[in-house]
Structure 1
């Protein structure tokens, strides 16, 4: 039986090589190395091809899982309110300048005059939270200065948004009849040059769901306290030292108008109550809200801005400790840390000599 089997194999090898193979090549042919047919290589090729198909299928399955999981992770991690899925792009008619003011009429006049001169300004709204309404003379002066300073054919709308109480949450109340999606939130003592403002607006148009601003801030994990995670709020020097940031303050920042509604009507009321009591940290609350919606960092725009007033509450003693407490208290209300850090910075190459 065995001699017959050997004879059959030798005959097959001879037939394949047509008598041209040497005994050494005949043995090699039986191992699939020489001659026309290579059974071992063929089997290996089929095995490799099968492995590639399996890996491809596994990769497609993993990608589908990631897409599905990422679309559902928002509701799992903290609150995740519904918001419009479509954002007009680019923003309609420029931007609305939203100026927060409080008993600084001289600075307010300078601020309104400046932003009225910027070509991208479609409207100027002044958030007024004083017990007495603005005087008729102040209203008349500001309306006149808007008409005089505007360079656009269509003059910006000007309006006071009046509030009955002094509350920092007032600066993020929804505004009716807006013609733009873009809101530029700014304090009355901050001046951003028009060309820098227009560049930041262009940056915001590329990412209209996020915040784009000029005043970056940072958070970092400090330590564990009683099994609780404790974070620290980092000011400008922290950003300068580390090159990273996770917030841009609303004293000079663009965001989509939908966040006014989300802040006022969807964000946990406990956060608004906290801000009302502490009279601080509304800007941190807005940064947390936007990060919670987008799962993305803000964008810091490099550009000059001028403070035309005296130091505000940031110069008060204990301000850093207050901000630390705000940050950690808000995170505990969220039940998570939504802020995302980055080291990216938007730079206008037309005005930069060195890159």
Structure 2
């Protein structure tokens, strides 16, 4: 009996121990895991920016002062931004919230359309993250664009209440209304601690170098203007474009205007002082946008604020800004070289301005005007572009090793500059070429051409494009016997564009395009042409050349086949080119051009010349002096060029192609490549290409 009771007590004791252990483990899990998760969830702001939450700003909540001497190295925590080389610059936007004071009065007012556009641009960019722990930079949902709406103390307190504020570290405050005189402070008296300011109208006294970002002021007027105003026929040389200038400036400028009529000083119209879309010059009334469009230079002076929308307005119309504002920090000056587009002048040296500006050559004025329009369109024409430029500058500060070059920021794309779509600057000696022969029914000349070609040392394959759907190609047993592979492709339709299709059988980089009647070339000429092409792989290198000329009477282009010193085309009846151009012709060239070629059974060689010239801005290269490429055995009825309308159609094609491309890309050159020892009195053993013929 005693033993039995002892056993029961022992079992009961063990159960209590197990229960105690289980409860201890459960409490540990609740304390270590569940409670922190709940607290984290409660503290984490909601990421839905459309769900507005209301916060009460206490009357006595702390207000931090702005750190006046911040730099990117002491007020910015770069360790929040990770250590990856790319992709670690992320921006977090606080959820939309409504802040009110203890009396229920809203702080900051309703979010403006402009600020909403900026936040939307960030959300839709690759910089955005909805996870604050991943963020490098934080942006408040409190609208700070317009400083005139601020309740300074309450707004500062609302910023300090942001969950990740930490005295403004890694936060950016956006503002687009420049400060007013006398100190022109961009953010007035908001206490932003260590936050960066992306603001407009900075002066050099308040701008914190390498920390703040000077941005542009978005102009609704400029966004509605056309950007194609010519500088050549503008009647006015230089105009003031502000109506709110100080009376001292107006008086001084009018005295200059009386001596020099090339200056026009406009003022606010006295009979309609509230209409800012019109200005007056004496008794003459102008639309504000008109004076921008008809002036070569726009003089911009300090007004009630250090900067306003006139800079964007002038840039949009190509009116070259003359900025006579001392100590102004221009938008994005960190990356934009404004000297390429504007004239920086001292507001105290206006007497000498006209003499200096008058000495700027016309070509330089045109260049500056074009640069103005490009800078506006690229960086200032929308809130989205202003925002993305700001974030890109911040990203480059963090990763200077991957920053864009000066040229990327400041050189506008030039359609006339040479560019190559190919990667390799040269081809290897062992690559060789594929001969692509377009044929229809001239079997005899086709076979003769193949027998001649098979002796070319660099020939790798012969591809015959049989373009006759009513007659099959000859049986294989009658084709010339060669060690070079021959592949015959029978097309589904008789189209000249078939010769430029990117056939998978073309395995070499180089293509020698041939008509089946080109029997006058020699092996040395073909081999020399291939060697020249290897030095210029992105251009057409070949034998028959043509040119285009401008007709002043008809104001049109003309196709020219006469022998001239200048050439602008090399016909693809006998020419080398890179196989990339087959793909570009088939898939990238404007479809209207290929339709013109196929509908007219003409101009495919002109189309290929246009395509390559428009892409590379380079001329073709003619090799050897040979000019005669007529088939001696062919009858006139067999040749497309024998048609009476052939030349007229080719002239029409040139004008059509130029209209489609929007310019004339063909380049006239006086250049021809011949072997070095061509016609020199050297023994044949010393010459590599002896069989290079004359005309």
TM-score by length of 2: 0.37
Paired residue for 2:603? 281
Paired residue for 2:515? 187
Paired residue for 1:89? 427
Can you list the C-alpha shifts for 1:149-171, whole angstroms capped at 9, x where unaligned? xxxxxx32210122111011111
Can you list the C-alpha shifts for 1:172-204, whole angstroms capped at 9, x where unaligned? 100214331111101000022001111111111
Can you list the C-alpha shifts for 1:42-94, whole angstroms capped at 9, x where unaligned? xxxxxxxxxxxxxxx99xxxxx7599748x324x99xx999443365236531
Counterparts in 2 of 1:165-244, with a 5 A limit? 165-191=493-519, 192-223=521-552, 225=554, 229-235=555-561, 237=562, 240=563, 242-244=564-566
SS of the equivalent of 1:201 reads helix
Q: Greater helix share, 1 or 2?
A: 1
Counterparts in 2 of 1:1-355, with a 5 A limit? 69=411, 72-74=413-415, 83-86=421-424, 89-90=427-428, 92-132=430-470, 134-135=472-473, 138-142=475-479, 145-147=480-482, 155-191=483-519, 192-223=521-552, 225=554, 229-235=555-561, 237=562, 240=563, 242-304=564-626, 307-310=631-634, 311=636, 312-353=639-680
SS of the equivalent of 2:546 reads strand
SS of the equivalent of 2:475 reads helix
Q: 1:195 to 1:183 in 2, by over 3 A?
A: same
SS of the equivalent of 2:657 reads helix
Unpaired runs of 5+ residues, structure 1, are: 1-56, 59-63, 148-154
Paired residue for 1:28? none
Unpaired runs of 5+ residues, structure 2, are: 1-338, 341-405, 682-695
Paired residue for 2:41? none
**CA–CA separation in structure 2 for the residues paired with 1:252 and 1:99:** 9
How far has the Cα of 1:316 moved from its partner? 2.1
**CA–CA separation in structure 2 for the residues paired with 1:146 and 1:308:** 24
Can you list the C-alpha shifts for 1:210-242, whole angstroms capped at 9, x where unaligned? 0011111001111265xxx5111110x2xx2x4
> Aligned pair count?
274
Can you list the C-alpha shifts for 1:84-122, whole angstroms capped at 9, x where unaligned? 433652365311111111111111111111111211211
Larger CA deviation: 253-262 vs 344-353: 344-353
Q: Per chain length, whose mean CA-contact separation is higher, i.e. which structure has more relative contact order (CA < 8 Å, sep 6+)?
A: 1
Can you list the C-alpha shifts for 1:273-302, whole angstroms capped at 9, x where unaligned? 111111110010000011111101110111
How far has the Cα of 1:347 moved from its partner? 1.1
**CA–CA separation in structure 2 for the residues paired with 1:254 and 1:208:** 9
**CA–CA separation in structure 2 for the residues paired with 1:194 and 1:247:** 23
**CA–CA separation in structure 1 for the residues paired with 2:454 and 2:472:** 19
Contact 1:92–1:179 (Cα < 8 Å) also in 2: no
Larger CA deviation: 195-204 vs 303-312: 303-312
SS of the equivalent of 2:575 reads strand
Contact 1:92–1:181 (Cα < 8 Å) also in 2: no
**CA–CA separation in structure 2 for the residues paired with 1:111 and 1:267:** 30
**CA–CA separation in structure 1 for the residues paired with 2:419 and 2:596:** 20
Can you list the C-alpha shifts for 1:279-331, whole angstroms capped at 9, x where unaligned? 11001000001111110111011154763442422232132211110110111
Contact 1:190–1:308 (Cα < 8 Å) also in 2: no
Contact 2:434–2:461 (Cα < 8 Å) also in 1: yes
**CA–CA separation in structure 2 for the residues paired with 1:195 and 1:318:** 35
Contact 1:124–1:156 (Cα < 8 Å) also in 2: yes
Contact 2:568–2:667 (Cα < 8 Å) also in 1: yes
Contact 1:146–1:158 (Cα < 8 Å) also in 2: no
**CA–CA separation in structure 2 for the residues paired with 1:81 and 1:132:** 43
Q: 1:224 to 1:303 in 2, by over 3 A?
A: closer
**CA–CA separation in structure 2 for the residues paired with 1:94 and 1:348:** 19
SS of the equivalent of 1:349 reads coil
Q: 1:297 to 1:67 in 2, by over 3 A?
A: farther
Q: 1:291 to 1:146 in 2, by over 3 A?
A: farther
Q: 1:346 to 1:68 in 2, by over 3 A?
A: farther
Of the two, which has the highest radius of gyration? 2
Q: 1:89 to 1:179 in 2, by over 3 A?
A: same
**CA–CA separation in structure 1 for the residues paired with 2:494 and 2:663:** 30
Can you list the C-alpha shifts for 1:222-281, whole angstroms capped at 9, x where unaligned? 1265xxx5111110x2xx2x4001000001101000000000011011111111111110
Larger CA deviation: 294-303 vs 253-262: 294-303
